[in-house]
Amino acid sequence: MVTACATPATPAAPALATARHIAWSACYEPAKHLECARVAVPLDWNRPAGRQIELAVIRRRASNGGARLGSLFLNWGGPGVAGVPKVRAMAPQLDAIGKGRFDVVSWDPRGTGESTPVECFSSDEKRSAFWGRDWSVPTTSAQSSKYVPKAEAFVRRCASRSGDLLAHVSTADTVRDLDYLRQLAGDAQLNYRGISYGTFIGQTYAAMFPQRVRAMVLDGVLDPVAFTTSTERSIAGSIAAADVVFDKFQSLCQSAGPRCALAGHGAVAPRVHALLARLRRAPIGALTYGDTLLVLWIRLGTPGEWPGLAVELDKADRGDGSALETTAREAKGFILSALDSAVALQCADKPFPPSPGPQAWPGVIGRLSDASFISGPVNGWLLWVPCASWTARSVDRFTGPWSAHTKAPILVIGTRFDPNTAYAAAVAAVARLGNAVLLTHDGYGHTSDADPSTCVDRATATYLVDLVAPHTGTVCRSNLLPFDPHYR
């Protein structure tokens, strides 16, 4: 079992700063029930009187305030996804998760969003100019050889602009922020729902502060051992089911018949694989193979987008790659703006100095491509190569143990066909945690949110409100299959 680095086995509580509560004020009018605040926290929790940074925080008051149980903190993962805009966009749905009995609270984790951010460029224009108009996932040796020095230069820019912050954006730092926000919210114990990387935040919190957990829902689980061992191991484990999910996309399309644009012109799978082989040889118009991998990587996690993906693949097979290229172009704009914080937070929890270095890319990218021909190259180039070049050592990095026993069981939700966080990690988490129950979501996509299940929603609400977990072995099916005409 690995041990903690620069974190005591039984972490002390974060020292309280001068604040005793969160100074909420109404925000995002005419939205109802939303309040925002900025909360100062130490850059380094080991030096609480030192330099301060800020967290952007948002709250949606409980709709059933008379029966309020406390706050429900939410994190959507990434790493690097900002929580404030998520609550702003989804407030009513989030209120329903706990039957209206919790104030829904989220925050932009340190290094992200409107909190003190990791910055690698002074403007969006400079970021775009640095990466270039033709930026994509390398798929040839020549492209790969050019990408490595670009990734190294990107890391140097992050180090130059973000300085000391990079040493203090580990998940342990974020967990200490979360525990401080819990205290300021007036909650004796934490109620928490974490998605994807948010499950690593949850597992870290439970490991560091097990007695402070009231209820915890982990959906789309990251393996904490792999995540803190190496970037390659973490990626390989998470994407283990990605190609299987791609196969499911094709078989469900075939079964859907005319409801799927790719069906009705011969068997779907051979047609799709012939298209990908064609793109590997040469672009179709402006559409490259690398751009196609990006689109597949993004769309596979959201079954509601599978019909649109089928339309775009069908058009490309007919010689018109413009629809896929448009999707890729839009996705690349989002990806590049997210890389600054995503890379920093990803690398912060890994051993330092990184080994092997970025010049080992042929072997590493090859192994990741064996794990998934779609997600392996994408994650390898976006995350592994920068982390292999990373220059900042985290001051406070927690690496286990991960077997903490909480009073109430932790509810772990694993989606059977998840391309980004493999179901096997949820099974392993339940076996590793001291007190946890697995709820299997028999569905598709990245986390149960992507493939709605009333069964999952009811089980989650019952657990959060009454602390009654589903029986061991419970399986919840999705409401509808992808490509169903009534699928949302």
- How does pLDDT run across 262-298, given as a tens digit for each residue? 998 899 999 999 999 999 999 999 999 999 999 999 9
Would 8 be classed as within a structural domain?
Answer: no
The boundaries of the domain holding residue 224 are 25-116+169-229+399-477
Q: How many CB atoms lie within 10 A of CB 410?
A: 28
Last residue of a domain, one of 329, 363, 391: 391
DSSP structure string for 206-255: HHH-GGGEEEEEEES---HHHHHH-HHHHHHHHTTTHHHHHHHHHHHHHH
The reply to whether 223 and 143 lie within a common domain is: no
CATH of the domain at 75: 3.40.50.1820
Q: Averaged over 368-390, what is the pLDDT?
A: 98
The reply to whether 343 and 309 lie within a common domain is: yes
Would 13 be classed as within a structural domain?
Answer: no
Would 302 be classed as within a structural domain?
Answer: yes
User: What gap in Å lies between CA 365 and CA 362, rounded to an integer?
Assistant: 6
Q: Averaged over 434-462, what is the pLDDT?
A: 98
Task: Give per-residue burial for 125-153: e unless 16+ CB within 10 Å, then b.
Answer: eebbeebeeebbbbbeeeebeebbeebbe
Half-sphere exposure of 474 (CA within 13 A, CB side): 16
* Mean pLDDT over each residue of the chain, to the nearest integer: 94
Last residue of a domain, one of 391, 421, 454: 391
First vs last Cα of the chain: how many Å apart? 44
Strands 52-60 and 25-26: what pairing?
unpaired
The reply to whether 277 and 261 lie within a common domain is: yes
The reply to whether 98 and 42 lie within a common domain is: yes
Would 17 be classed as within a structural domain?
Answer: no
Residue 30 — pLDDT band, cuts 50, 70, 90?
confident
The reply to whether 185 and 155 lie within a common domain is: no
The reply to whether 103 and 73 lie within a common domain is: yes
The reply to whether 370 and 439 lie within a common domain is: no
Would 484 be classed as within a structural domain?
Answer: no
Would 94 be classed as within a structural domain?
Answer: yes
Task: Give per-residue burial for 17-29: e unless 16+ CB within 10 Å, then b.
Answer: eeeeebebeeebe
The reply to whether 246 and 269 lie within a common domain is: yes
The reply to whether 313 and 357 lie within a common domain is: yes
User: What gap in Å lies between CA 367 and CA 45, rounded to an integer?
Assistant: 38
Residue 31 — pLDDT band, cuts 50, 70, 90?
low
Which stretches within 45-196 are classed as H helix?
A: 83-97, 124-131, 141-162, 171-184
Q: Tally the domains of the chain.
A: 2
User: What gap in Å lies between CA 81 and CA 72, rounded to an integer?
Assistant: 17
Contact 76, 192 (CB under 8 A): no
Identify the CA nearest to 248 among candidates 325, 288, 301: 301
State the pLDDT at residue 9. 37
The reply to whether 256 and 362 lie within a common domain is: yes
Residue pLDDT, tens place only, 116-146: 999 999 999 999 999 999 999 999 999 999 9
Residue 16 — pLDDT band, cuts 50, 70, 90?
very low
Residue pLDDT, tens place only, 174-233: 999 999 999 999 999 999 999 999 999 999 999 999 999 999 999 999 999 999 999 999
The reply to whether 280 and 327 lie within a common domain is: yes
The reply to whether 148 and 43 lie within a common domain is: no
Contacts 24+ apart (CB under 8 A), 365-372: 365/144, 367/232, 367/236, 368/232, 368/235, 368/236, 368/239, 371/235, 371/236, 371/239, 371/240, 371/242, 372/239, 372/240, 372/242, 372/243, 372/419
Would 335 be classed as within a structural domain?
Answer: yes
Counting residues of the chain whose pLDDT is more than 90, the rounded percentage is 93
Q: Averaged over 474-478, what is the pLDDT?
A: 98
Instruction: Enumerate the β-bridge partners of residue 440.
Output: 414, 475
Would 111 be classed as within a structural domain?
Answer: yes
Residue pLDDT, tens place only, 227-244: 999 999 999 999 999 999
State the pLDDT at residue 211. 97
Residue pLDDT, tens place only, 320-335: 999 999 999 999 999 9
Last residue of a domain, one of 338, 370, 391: 391
State the pLDDT at residue 27. 94
